[in-house]
Amino acid sequence: MKLVMIMDKRRCYGCNGCTVACKQANATPPGTFYTKTLTEEHGKFPNSKIGYMPLICNHCDDAPCVEVCPTKASKKLADGTVQVTASECIGCKQCMEACPYDARFFNSEDAPTYWGMKGQDAYEKLRSGEHVSGTVDKCTFCAPRREKGLPPACVETCPAIARIFGDLDDPKSEVSKIFRQYKPKPYRPEEGTKPSVFYIE
């Protein structure tokens, strides 16, 4: 099994529904967003146009975050995803420094909320036990949802169907068909990480 996500940038219109859905599904700590969408400007005025760049953990095959972790809390699993075992994480942040995609986050008790206030809001407090303070956290490709047979929240929510998720090793899967048809490219291939997230321009 090789779980991958394809981002179709032609379809994305920057609504950030993925960001909100991810926040709700994972109840991430204040200020932590596993996925986000950046606004890009292409060309020069008056012939410029706006584009959008959705970003997420790339679940790399050659993950530098896994290589530098001194306790092996960061692991590459058989399904192709990279996961963090909180009980083994010592919060040294070496993985954060090693990640070329800025896709890891440190769980801090005093991070600001959406409104600039210190501490957690009601929903974050309700599910705060899912994110251990003093450890590093990241996108899991919604592992708890996948265990229930559901796709990642960002994929299910995207109104433009700009995110396609599935098993690349299954030739009949939608993601495999789209991969063969459009030949999507990884983000920052020069990093040599062999990511599991690809983009259609």
Domain count, the chain: 1
Q: Provide the CATH number for the domain around residue 76.
A: 3.30.70.20
pLDDT tens readout for residues 24-41? 999 888 788 999 999 999
Mean pLDDT across 158-171: 97
Which of 198 and 29 is assigned the larger pLDDT? 198
List, for residues 142-160, the tens digit of each pLDDT value. 999 999 999 999 999 999 9
The answer on pLDDT for 184 being more than 70 is yes
pLDDT band for position 171 (cuts 50, 70, 90): very high
Residue with tokens 């679940």: 59
Q: How far apart are CA 151 and CA 107, in angstroms?
A: 25
* Contact between residue 91 and residue 136 where contact means Cβ atoms under 8 Å apart: yes
Q: Which residue has the higher pLDDT, 120 or 194?
A: 194
* pLDDT given at position 111: 62
Considering the entire predicted model, what is its pTM?
0.90
**Domain interval for residue 84:** 3-199
pLDDT at residue 110, rounded to an integer: 66
Three-state DSSP string of the chain = CCEEEEEECCCCCCCCHHHHHHHHHHCCCCCCCCCEEEEEEECCCCCCEEEEEEECCCCCCCCHHHHHCCCCCEEECCCCCEEECHHHCCCCCHHHHHCCCCCEEECCCCCECCCCCECCCHHHHHCHHHCCCCCEEECCCCHHHHHCCCCCHHHHHCCCCCEEEEECCCCCCHHHHHHHHHCCEECCHHHCCCCCEEEEC
Q: How far apart are CA 59 and CA 36, in angstroms?
A: 16
* Span 42-58, pLDDT tens digits: 888 888 999 999 999 99
Strongest mean pLDDT among 4-13, 114-123, 128-137: 4-13
Percentage of the residues of the chain whose pLDDT score is greater than 70: 94
Give the pLDDT confidence score for residue 29 in this predicted structure. Answer: 81
Per-residue pLDDT tens for 86-126? Answer: 999 999 999 999 999 999 999 887 666 655 566 667 777 78
